[in-house]
């Protein structure tokens, strides 16, 4: 097969193509950015006292939003500040979403990449390098993620530094002896595919230890009348249908942490034992 040499061009110096053109291309097909299954929510979104946000994208499932700022040529201080400012305004106005700042530029130098990295983990921020390729049929755009968001080690993560508590903490302060007993029943189910599994009592959740290490393919949060079971699985229409065709109390799907969240009573566990076991085993197989 013949090799075709690609010709990269600078949009900053292009006589006709400009930032608005790039903005329109992304708006027409947001998937081109490669940051996930996103749709266009708004373009040139007015920010009170702060100009206009180039693009506001949203996860197709509605949980996450992305404040996207585009700059041709080199990224600079003003671009970084503007992107973070728009992100901050949006998250304060719409706190029910998970917000991510996205910087798009043709050239992101190591100096500015280091600066952006300092924010990461505290401000969820992505940096995408924009490349324009000229062909005989037109100009194509390619985006490379040079900096991804860093998730801090929140309570759902497999860390040994989580504050440890004992069983009585959950029985008296968070749940009841009855609901904590449900976690024993779930543990017994787990032992059918992970014989060495045991419960790990943390301040914010009850997780699992398998073979002497934390393996939180699922976590449990006993409450006063039920247990919230969160199973770590990628969302699929098949799994959605399996759950929706039962009488389980399906709370929601947490897109950020990729977990199905169910509210279980003793009756729910007994009635839907096979499905719950299947979901947990699948989650375990993905993590083990």
pLDDT in tens, 25-74: 999 999 999 998 899 999 999 887 778 999 999 987 667 899 999 999 98
Contact 186, 269 (CB under 8 A): yes
Nearest to 89 by CA among 115, 53, 121: 53
Which one has a higher pLDDT value, 244 or 62?
244
Question: What pLDDT does residue 160 have?
Answer: 44
Neighbouring CB atoms inside 10 A of 154's CB total 11
- Crossing angle of the two packed helices 273-287 and 177-190, in degrees rounded to 10: 60
Question: What pLDDT does residue 152 have?
Answer: 46
Confidence of residue 180 (pLDDT cuts 50, 70, 90): very high
Beta-ladder partners of 65: 58, 99
Question: What pLDDT does residue 105 have?
Answer: 93
pLDDT at residue 157 above 80?
no
Which one has a higher pLDDT value, 185 or 50?
185
Please report where in the chains the tokens 């009348």 appear, as a residue. 225
Question: What pLDDT does residue 159 have?
Answer: 46
As annotated, the residues of the chain forming the CATH 3.40.1350.10 domain(s) are 7-147
Question: What pLDDT does residue 162 have?
Answer: 63
Structural domain 7-147, CATH architecture: 3-Layer(aba) Sandwich (3.40)
Confidence of residue 96 (pLDDT cuts 50, 70, 90): confident
Write out the two tokens for 190: 């787990």
Tell me the backbone φ, ψ of residue 187, rounded to 5 degrees.
-60, -45
Q: What is the dihedral of CA 124, 106, 56, 17, to 10 degrees?
A: 180
Q: What percent of the chain has pLDDT over 70?
A: 94
pLDDT at residue 158 above 60?
no
As annotated, the residues of the chain forming the CATH 3.90.1150 domain(s) are 167-287
Question: What pLDDT does residue 61 have?
Answer: 67
Question: What pLDDT does residue 209 have?
Answer: 93
CATH number of 167-287: 3.90.1150
Tell me the backbone φ, ψ of residue 128, rounded to 5 degrees.
-120, 130
Confidence of residue 121 (pLDDT cuts 50, 70, 90): low
Confidence of residue 1 (pLDDT cuts 50, 70, 90): confident
pLDDT tens track for 206-235? 999 999 888 999 999 999 999 999 999 998
């Amino acid at each position: 097969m013949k090799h075709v040499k690609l010709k990269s061009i600078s949009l900053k110096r292009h006589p006709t193509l400009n930032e608005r053109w790039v903005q329109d291309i992304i708006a027409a097909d947001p998937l081109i950015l490669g940051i996930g299954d996103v749709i266009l929510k708004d373009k040139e979104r007015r920010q009170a006292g702060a100009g206009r946000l180039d693009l506001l994208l949203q996860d197709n499932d509605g949980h996450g939003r992305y404040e996207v700022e585009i700059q041709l040529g080199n990224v600079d201080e003003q671009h970084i500040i503007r992107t973070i400012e728009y992100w901050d305004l949006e998250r304060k106005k719409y706190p029910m979403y998970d917000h991510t700042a996205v910087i798009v530029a043709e050239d992101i130098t190591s100096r500015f990449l280091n600066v952006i990295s300092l924010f990461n983990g505290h401000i969820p921020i992505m940096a995408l390098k924009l490349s324009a390729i000229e062909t005989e049929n037109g100009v194509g755009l390619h985006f490379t993620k040079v900096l991804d968001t860093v998730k801090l080690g929140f309570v759902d993560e497999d860390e040994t530094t989580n504050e440890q508590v004992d069983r009585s903490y959950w029985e008296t302060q968070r749940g009841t002896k009855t609901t904590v007993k449900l976690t024993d029943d779930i543990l017994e189910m787990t032992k059918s595919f992970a014989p060495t599994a045991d419960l790990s009592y943390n301040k914010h959740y009850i997780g699992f230890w398998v073979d002497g290490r934390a393996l939180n393919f699922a976590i449990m949060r006993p409450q006063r009348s039920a247990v919230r079971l969160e199973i770590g699985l990628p969302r699929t229409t098949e799994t959605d249908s399996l759950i929706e065709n039962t009488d389980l109390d399906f709370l929601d799907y947490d897109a950020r942490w990729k977990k199905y969240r169910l509210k279980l009573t003793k009756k729910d566990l007994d009635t839907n034992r096979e499905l719950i076991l299947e979901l947990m085993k699948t989650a375990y197989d993905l993590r083990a």
